[in-house]
Amino acid sequence: MGSVTPGTAEAAAGLCQTAGMARDFTQVGVIGLGTMGAGIVEVFARNGIDVIAVEVSDEAVEKGRGVLAHSTDRAVARGKLSADDQLALHARVRFSAEMTDLAQCQLVIEAVPEQLALKKAIFARLDTIVGDDAILATNTSSLPVTEIAVATVNPKRVVGMHFFNPAPVLQFVEVIKTVITSDEVFEEVKALAERLGKKPVIVGDKAGFIANALLFGYLNHAVSMYESKYATREDIDAAMKLGCGYPMGPLALMDLIGLDTAYEILDTMYKQGRDRLHAPSPIIKQMVSAGMRGRKSGRGFYTYAEPGASQVVPDALTPEPAGQAQAVTQPVRSVGVVGSGTMAVGIVQVLAQAGLDVVFVARSDAKVAAVSAKVAQGLEKAVQRGRMTEQERDVALSLVTGTSQLDDLAGVDLVVEAVVEDLTVKRALFENLDEICRPGAILATTTSSLPVVECAAATSRPGDVVGLHFFNPAQVMRLVEVVHTVATADDVVATAVALCEQIGKQAVTCGDRAGFIVNALLFPYLNDAIKMLEANYSTADDIDTAMKTGCGLPMGPFELLDAVGLDVSLAIERELYLEFRERGYAPAPLLEHLVRAGYLGRKTGRGFRTHA
């Protein structure tokens, strides 16, 4: 058993619960009643625990009371809480502007702004108010819990209990154990989190813990991408929502979190880890200084109807509605597709369903037949799911022609290359297409990581070459990255964007840079997760849980890596590192070792996990 500060036998008994006899918390305190603090109050009160809710003044108390009332009113309106349960919940909460009212609490959680000096002062005072057996917890998302703990006489009873916003909804809680925290205190807090219906993940005292350490590096990178004018805010956000299934785009999420909060978290992480990728992008501080703090101020990366509102309203940066742009486009009635893999099959099906004549080229008659069969199967599945009629299926099939001869592409308006990710193969193909296709025909590559300009340089018409990066499966994923090189003509880009709209896809435009938008943001985040595992900071299961339940991502990083393929992931990370020469982008050695061992993920039955 861990030792306790000298004191009464009762105090020792309180902190040293025996295994299987976790304390029955009946009264807790919460300091700070902003969105996060009020949410924590609601979590405890929903679970039958009495709460003393404390703010700095009577005015702040009333504001916090209003936050709690608004949240529970919304839960009642949505059928998530009955009116009787709402009344019972509010009856369990007592509001106060005096910290001394926390004297009888068995646990106090601090949820004030992310200012280390403020938190330390609160804990020093709490230490003189609560009983010797009370546990003190901080909801900090990035500050060192150890520094907060040593502001008390008994730092062994201090722990991190990091809830995620909105606390009543999100199941994830990071329980942070410092080198000083008593084992018994830690176990009691973990058990309490489970009693609250949360999924606690146990971590050490490192800036950002799991979720924020991974999330904010990604957000900071997205801000840098926007700041450099590589892509618009709308395209960056759409790319990550549609390409990765994220619930929000990174810039919209920054506005929701608050740019001032995001800056403090990034600054704290950078000062502790000295990782340049966590150094806050300069524009964040500039926007905070200008009062553009996100939703709460009514203006951040986007403009909102009013402070605190979620409704985005048009501003000077809002693009023109689709169809109103005056860009010159070329007519596209027939499209060629080169390739016979999964991506090529999907692109053929999508184009035919949109009413375009499609000529696809495969290497042999057998592969031509196989592609035709897969396209027919895909269209039949669409009929069975009610997404198209039998007549529409038949029309789409009639528009598809297969061949093994590249020369049959001579008359098409646009060609999409979807062959193996090998630059030598692609350059040779573009040389052939340049000779075969009519003047003015657009030549597109669906590469996910190779330089589009290398394909363009293999032709005598670099202005007609563009990237059209479809996402797999093309029949389902709505996103297409339209990639322009330094040579691509404006009308070619406009035509590619118009084609995406015609076939029911959402185009995002960007320059010819490794990873484009999605992979350039996604794979450094995945690489950071591998480094976290490699450093034994947490397990693959806990990291996946953190990102799924704490950040709402559809898959955890290790689930996703195994699904993508570790060899594919390594190839993309190497391209990013070679392009940007950023030390933080260097592939984690663990990934290199797994690939070398032949552990490539689901396709080989073993990657970061073993698959049946």
Going by their DSSP bridges, the two strands 442-445 and 414-417 should be labelled as parallel
472 is catalytic: no
Q: Reply yes or no on whether 224 is catalytic.
A: no
Token couple for 171: 């199941």
Residue 248: exposed, middle, or buried by beta-carbon count in 10 A (0-12, 13-18, 19+)?
middle
Per residue, what are the HEC states of 300-354? CCCEECCCCCCCEECCCCCCCCCCCCCCCCCCCCEEEEECCCHHHHHHHHHHHHC
**What Rg, from alpha-carbon coordinates, does the chain have?**
28
Q: Could you give the count of Cα atoms lying within 13 Å of 280 in the half-sphere of its Cβ?
A: 20
Q: Which of 154, 212, 297, 448 is catalytic?
A: 212
Q: Note if 212 is an active site residue.
A: yes
Separation CA 241–CA 119 (nearest Å): 36
The reply to whether 593 belongs to the active site is no
CA separation for the pair 268, 124 (Å, rounded): 22
Q: What are the structure tokens assigned to 161, written together?
A: 């209990």
- Residues 71, 139, 141, 220: which is the catalytic one? 141
Q: Is 64 helix (H, G, I), strand (E, B) or coil?
A: helix
Q: Is 52:22 a contact under the CB 8 Å cutoff?
A: no
Backbone angles phi, psi at 168, to 5 degrees: -70, -20
One of 162, 221, 278, 469 is an active-site residue; which one? 162
| Annotated catalytic residue, options 114, 174, 417, 573 | 174
- Distance of alpha carbon 365 from the chain centroid: 43
Q: Where on the phi/psi map is residue 193: left (φ > 0), alpha (ψ -120 to 50), or beta?
A: alpha
For the chain, helix (H) and strand (E) counts, in that order, are 23, 18
Would you list the DSSP string of 130-166?
Answer: S-TT-EEEE--SSS-HHHHHTTSS-GGGEEEEEE-SS
Nearest CA-CA partner of 262 in 165, 379, 161: 165
- Report in angstroms the alpha-carbon separations of 436 from 45, 334, 415, 468, 539: 72, 15, 11, 20, 54
Three-class SS of residue 415? strand
- Which tokens go with 115? 């200012």
Catalytic positions, written as ranges: 141, 162, 174, 212
